[in-house]
Amino acid sequence: MVRIKSKREIGLIRESSRIVADVLKLVASHIRPGVTTLELDKLAEDYIRSLGAIPAFKGYGHSKTNLFPATLCTSIDDVVVHGIPSNRALKEGEALSVDVGVVREGYYGDGASTFPVGEISKEKQRLLKVTKESLQKGIEQAVTGNRIHDISHAVQSHVEAAGYSVVRDLVGHGVGVELHEDPAVPNFGKPGTGMKLQEGMTLAIEPMVNAGAWQVRFGADGWTVLTQDGRPSAHFEHTIAIVDGKPEILTI
Domains in the chain, CATH or no CATH each = 7-249 (3.90.230.10)
- The pLDDT assigned to 109 comes to 98
| Number of residues that make up the chain | 252
Q: Provide mean pLDDT across the span 132-160.
A: 98
Q: Provide mean pLDDT across the span 51-64.
A: 96
- The pLDDT assigned to 168 comes to 98
- The pLDDT assigned to 186 comes to 98
Q: Provide mean pLDDT across the span 70-91.
A: 98
As a whole number of Å, the end-to-end CA separation of the chain is 27
- The pLDDT assigned to 115 comes to 98
- The pLDDT assigned to 213 comes to 98
Q: Provide mean pLDDT across the span 157-170.
A: 98
Closest CA to 165 of 80, 70, 41, 56: 80
- Which tens digits make up the pLDDT trace of 191-249? 999 999 999 999 999 999 999 999 999 999 999 999 999 999 999 999 999 999 999 99
CB 54 within 8 A of CB 71: no
DSSP string, 176-190: SSSSSEEEEE-S---
CB 130 within 8 A of CB 117: no
Q: Which residues of 92-117 are buried (b: 16+ CB within 10 A; e: fewer)?
A: eebbbbbbbbbbbeebbbbbbbbbbb
- The pLDDT assigned to 179 comes to 98
- The pLDDT assigned to 80 comes to 98
Single pTM value for the model: 0.97
Closest CA to 97 of 31, 15, 45: 31
Task: Provide the CA 164 distance to its chain's centre, in angstroms.
Answer: 18
Q: Provide mean pLDDT across the span 180-195.
A: 98
Whether omega for the bond prior to residue 183 falls within 30 degrees of 0, making it cis, is yes
